[in-house]
């Protein structure tokens, strides 16, 4: 199973070393030579740094919004528990059953009406309204010692101060998990960035890959662009895979 999962990415990486003649003529897995300069050449010719920067801006804003807004809602549902919180929790859980694409038309219409098309803001705010992240935060917050919350209330801390002074510092493991999930989701997101940013100079990496289908870019350069696009998620998961596994398993056991 591991070989089946890895093989497509391995084939793209090895094929990207070939020139266009070798790629079209030789149906082999391994190239005749390994020249890493071809990646630098393609990077410069396609101006890929610009698309990387655009994607990093989208990822940074989406990650911050995913942590802050979803964390605040989960804090209200798990700690504050105002009147009607069970209904809100049920609605959040039911929203997981609704495919995101079903609301894409109405979402895009509203984005256009308020004049946010052509900006990164819709991408950031969309990440701040994610039911899965809310439930991850909620489940973690419910395991925190209630004595700390009660002691903070007796000291006169406001609800928001309790959130960023007590709850948030104790929730670093789940914050890291949500941050990694949100970053990878924002990096690989295509549909909303395509609708909002495709006619601007803020095009992200995934949107640019799609636009290659109508350009004169040769097949090998496209393969190298695909390699560029998969490097950041691989690095992210390689560095933080232990934290992701431990935190998710721990949350599942506690739940």
Q: State the Cα–Cα distance between residues 192 and 205, nearest whole angstrom.
A: 13
User: Residue 254 pLDDT > 60, yes or no?
Assistant: no
**Location of each CATH 1.10.3720.10 domain in the chain:** 46-254
Domain 46-254 matching CATH 1.10.3720.10: the answer reads: yes
Residue 198 vs residue 168, higher pLDDT: 168
Question: What's the rounded mean pLDDT across residues 16-23?
Answer: 84
pTM flag (> 0.85): yes
pLDDT of residue 240: 79
pLDDT at 216 over 90: no
Q: Band the pLDDT of 255: cuts 50, 70, 90.
A: very low
pLDDT > 70? residue 174: yes
Write phi, then psi, for 244 (nearest 5 degrees). -60, -50
> pLDDT at position 253, please?
46
Residue (of 128, 138, 5, 14) closest to 80 by Cα position: 138
Tokens of 82: 């105002």
Average pLDDT over residues 36-52: 91
Residue-wise pLDDT tens digits, 63-90? 999 999 999 999 999 998 999 999 999 9
DSSP per residue, 59-125: HHHHHHHHHHHHHHHHHIIIII--TTHHHHHHHHHHHTTS-GGGGHHHHHHHHHHTT-TTSSHHHHH
Distance CA 230, CA 111 (A): 29
CA dist 179 and 230 (Å) reads 18
């Amino acid at each position: 199973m591991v070989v089946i999962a890895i093989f497509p990415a391995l084939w793209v990486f090895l094929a990207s070393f070939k020139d266009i003649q070798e790629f079209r003529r030789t149906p082999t897995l391994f190239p005749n030579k390994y020249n890493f300069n071809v990646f630098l050449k393609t990077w410069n010719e396609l101006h890929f740094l610009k698309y990387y920067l655009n994607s990093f801006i989208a990822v940074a804003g989406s990650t911050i919004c995913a942590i802050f807004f979803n964390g605040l809602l989960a804090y209200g549902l798990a700690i504050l528990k105002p009147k009607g919180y069970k209904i809100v929790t049920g609605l959040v859980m039911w929203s997981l059953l609704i495919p995101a694409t079903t609301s894409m038309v109405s979402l895009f219409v509203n984005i256009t009406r308020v004049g946010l098309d052509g900006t990164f803001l819709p991408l950031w705010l969309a990440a701040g309204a994610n039911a899965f992240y809310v439930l991850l935060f909620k489940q973690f917050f419910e395991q925190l010692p209630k004595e700390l919350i009660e002691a903070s209330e007796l000291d006169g801390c406001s609800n928001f101060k309790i959130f960023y002074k007590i709850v948030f510092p104790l929730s670093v493991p789940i914050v890291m998990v949500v941050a990694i999930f949100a970053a990878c989701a924002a990096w690989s997101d295509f549909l909303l960035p395509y609708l909002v940013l495709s006619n601007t100079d803020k095009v992200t990496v995934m949107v640019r890959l799609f636009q290659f289908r109508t350009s004169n870019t040769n097949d090998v350069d496209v393969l190298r662009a695909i390699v560029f696009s998969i490097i950041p998620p691989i690095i992210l998961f390689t560095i933080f895979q232990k934290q992701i596994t431990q935190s998710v398993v721990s949350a599942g056991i506690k739940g």
